């Protein structure tokens, strides 16, 4: 019996070693990829091509480490080749230093990126046509005093020309241009400061977009009532309507609806990401507070 007591633990050790040796080592499935995020806006300079390398989920993401600064980035249109440069900080990506050269509507633009190791990444977009306001936002709006009984906005509609390049939705962007100042924009300037608009569904400080000064929405038709709760701040705001090409729209739907990226919906060859374009119209409006 004494012998068995000594042999049994040894057998357990041997059995454990055998079982462990039969198991495969955990596979390392992470493969680094190069990522492009870029869009062109009609009638604006070329100023945004973000080029990065992906990071494994086990590492904390650091923008400075991910950004690729030594690539050759070209934009081609109508037989013309434009070489972009990288800004010193990298925060704005690659851009065209000639700001007098504006993106044109209804044109095919090709993106060509050559990495230091010779990797060639390409993508293309066709810019949407221009369009105009029919009924633009007024210069000033008055937020309803009774926030428990908001108007539906039927008396305050905005509309714009129907654009033939729309495949899914028009994109609406409402951006606060000054989250601090309020009174200085009044007919008789004051020192009054700006404040947020809180809604019952906003989530407050727990909301993931609490620190964002911009709110996005999508509508299927070229008109919409003014929805008060889409404004995040009182004061000076900018309302923008965008017509996106298919690439920009796919990226937007993922970014604003699912908050994750599906590599199958990109249009970058030999890499991942999106190269898209949009045409837009904008109008500034001042939103008066519902209370002092």
Q: Which residues of 89-104 are buried (b: 16+ CB within 10 A; e: fewer)?
A: ebeebbbbeeeeeebe
Average pLDDT over residues 118-123: 96
Q: What is the pLDDT of residue 260?
A: 72
Q: What is the pLDDT of residue 127?
A: 97
- 79 versus 263: which is more confidently predicted? 79
CA distance 162 to 153: 21
Average pLDDT over residues 261-269: 85
Per the prediction, the chain carries an average pLDDT of 85
272-to-91, 105, 111, 154, 275 alpha-carbon distances in Å: 19, 25, 13, 43, 10
Does pLDDT of 12 surpass 50?
no
CA distance 112 to 119: 10
Alpha carbon 129 to its chain's center = 21
Average pLDDT over residues 125-137: 96
pLDDT, tens digit, 9 for 90 and up, residues 41-54: 999 999 989 998 88
Ordered by where they begin, the domains of the chain are 34-126 (2.60.40), 133-262+278-288 (no CATH)
Residue 89 pLDDT grade (very low, low, confident, very high; cuts 50, 70, 90): low
**For residue 276, what are the β-bridge partners?**
39
Q: Give just the sign of the alpha carbon dihedral 140, 143, 145, 149.
A: positive
CA distance 176 to 107: 31
Residue 8 pLDDT grade (very low, low, confident, very high; cuts 50, 70, 90): very low
CA distance 64 to 84: 19
Torsion of CA 196, 200, 203, 205, to 10 degrees: 30
In this structure, of 17-21, 69-73, 174-178, 232-236, the range with the lowest mean pLDDT score is: 17-21
Q: What is the pLDDT of residue 182?
A: 97
Q: What is the pLDDT of residue 11?
A: 46
Q: What is the pLDDT of residue 226?
A: 86
Does pLDDT of 100 surpass 90?
yes
Does pLDDT of 16 surpass 60?
no
- 260 versus 240: which is more confidently predicted? 240
CA distance 123 to 111: 5
Average pLDDT over residues 259-268: 80
pTM: 0.82
3-state secondary structure the chain: CHHHHHHHHHHHHHHHHHHHHCCCCCCCCCCCCEEEEEEEECCCECCCEEEEECCCCCCCCCHHHHECCCCEEEEEECCEEEEEEECCCCCCEEECCCCCCECCCCCEEEEEEECCCCCEEEEEEECCCCCCEEECCCCEEECCCCCCCCCCCCCCEEEECCCCCCCCCEEEEEEECCCCECHHHCCCCCCCECCECCCCCCCHHHCCCCCCCEEEEEECCCEEECCHHHCCECEEEEEEEEEECHHHHHHHHHHHHHCCCCHHHCCCECCEEEEEEEEEEEEEEEEECCCC
């Amino acid at each position: 019996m004494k012998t068995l007591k000594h042999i049994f633990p040894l057998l357990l050790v041997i059995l454990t070693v055998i079982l462990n040796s039969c198991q495969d080592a955990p596979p390392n499935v992470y493969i680094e990829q190069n990522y492009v995020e870029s869009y062109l806006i009609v009638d604006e300079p070329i100023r945004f091509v973000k080029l990065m390398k992906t990071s494994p989920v086990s590492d904390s993401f650091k923008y400075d480490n991910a950004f690729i600064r030594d690539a050759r980035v070209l934009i081609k249109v109508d037989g013309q080749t434009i070489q972009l440069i990288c800004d010193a900080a990298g925060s704005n990506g690659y851009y065209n230093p000639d700001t007098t050269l504006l993106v044109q509507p209804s044109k095919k633009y090709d993106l060509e990126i050559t990495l230091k190791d010779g990797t060639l990444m390409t993508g293309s977009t066709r810019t949407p046509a221009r369009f105009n306001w029919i009924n633009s936002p007024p210069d000033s709006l008055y937020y309803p005093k009774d926030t428990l009984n908001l108007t539906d906005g039927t008396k305050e509609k905005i509309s714009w020309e129907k654009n033939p390049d729309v495949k899914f939705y028009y994109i609406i962007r409402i951006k606060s241009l000054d989250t601090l100042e309020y009174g200085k924009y009044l007919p008789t300037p004051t020192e009054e400061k700006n404040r947020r608009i809180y809604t019952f569904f906003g989530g407050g400080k727990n909301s993931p977009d609490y620190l964002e000064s911009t709110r996005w929405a999508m509508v299927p038709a070229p008109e919409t009532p003014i929805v008060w709760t889409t404004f995040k701040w009182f004061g000076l705001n900018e309302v923008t309507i965008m017509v996106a090409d298919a690439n920009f729209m796919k990226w937007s739907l993922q970014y604003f609806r699912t908050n994750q990226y599906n590599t199958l919906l990109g249009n970058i060859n030999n890499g991942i990401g999106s190269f898209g374009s949009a045409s837009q119209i904008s109008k500034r409006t001042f939103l008066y507070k519902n209370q002092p």
